Amino acid sequence: MSLVDDQSAKIPRCFRNFFLCSWLSFRNMFVLMFSLYLLALSFVPLHSTQVSSNDKPIIGILAQDLSTPKDDRIAYIAASYVKFLESAGARVVPIMINQPDEEYRRLFKSINGVLFPGGGASIFSSGYQRSAKIFYEMALEANLKGDYFPIWGTCLGMEQLLLLTNGISLLTRTNTSGVSLPLNFTKEAKGSRMFGNFPDELMDALALEPLTENSHRWSLAVEAFNSSNALTTFYKVLSTNTDGLTEFLSTVEAFDYPIYGTQWHPEKNAFEWRKPYITHTPSGVRVTFFMAEFFVGEARKNFHKFATEEEENQALIYNFSPVKSSAKSIFEQVYYF
């Protein structure tokens, strides 16, 4: 008998079994804990490594070209977009058109997200298009580096996002100017970032009631979307609608970036009153605030800030005053620049 065999024989079988069971339990526990750790990592959103929250988010809104510049006014922002973001606890900075690239880069490093609003500017060649392109490209680059920076596009803003992603326009004319519709949710909606925390009763209302106001003449047909590899690999379709002839995208979010688009206007239910087809029911108004809370919540994950408090104060929209719009306008109030 070897020395090892001799020593082993001196250890009672019960103790040897105890040590063996203890080792197996420890190993199993380690495997379990490591598996839970890997599972937790899978829930980290997109490219972000941030876990805390920015309680003072500042979001930029793109100004857009006036169709007919007058006096010293060349651009505007509808006040309802400002109220939309402020209702969820954000402050707003107007992003002026026709600024140097360096100014846009400086501003990008100072704000926590950007909203591309609806309107009538050209998505092919305008001050609106140029600033949107610059911020879109900076956001893609930042997010790939772990700098979580969200973008939201409403109506014209969503059309601009789709064009920037695809490179060419696939939009088609639809009869969707001046109508409120229920959303036709896809199977992707329930597990989406945008709608994931919406109450069930509000999702039901969105699916059954005409809560979403549409003011667009152009849409991206589902068929055209499915024909583009650039779009189908970038965006998840959360809802569609139809004008009776064409089924089109109405809500999207990017797979790998905090980029979102609605062909409809979530801000109008609470803040615009001039058109009879805008829904102001309790459910409609709740949609406004839930959408605002979601996007501002995305901006809270970003930690850009202005270099100084003075620079921040000079940039905020509080330095401008909205004015009551003319009777012909669809907006209650407008900021002119």
β-bridge mates for residue 62, sequence order: 95
What is the crossing angle of helices 282-299 and 200-208, to 10°?
Answer: 120
User: Could you identify the residue written with the tokens 């459910």?
Assistant: 283
Q: Which of 14, 21, 265, 280 is catalytic?
A: 265
Kindly state the DSSP code that residue 318 receives in the 8-state scheme: G
Q: How far apart are CA 192 and CA 173, in angstroms?
A: 28
Q: Has 21 been annotated as catalytic?
A: no
Please state the φ and ψ torsions of residue 214, each to the nearest 5 degrees: -115, 130
Please state the φ and ψ torsions of residue 156, each to the nearest 5 degrees: -55, -35
Q: How far apart are CA 337 and CA 322, in angstroms?
A: 10
Q: Buried b / exposed e across 183-211, counting CB within 10 Å, b at 16+? A: bebbebbeebbbbeebeeeebebbeebbb
β-bridge mates for residue 94, sequence order: 61
Nearest Cα to 173, choosing from 126, 221, 129?
A: 221
| Alpha-carbon 167 to chain mean position | 20
CA dist list (Å): 304 to 153, 202, 256? 20, 33, 20
Q: How far apart are CA 293 and CA 291, in angstroms?
A: 5
Q: Which of 14, 155, 216, 304 is catalytic?
A: 155
Nearest Cα to 61, choosing from 124, 112, 137?
A: 112
Q: How far apart are CA 278 and CA 265, in angstroms?
A: 10
Element (H, E) at 184: strand 184-185
> Tokens standing for 238?
């959360």
As annotated, the active-site residues are 155, 265
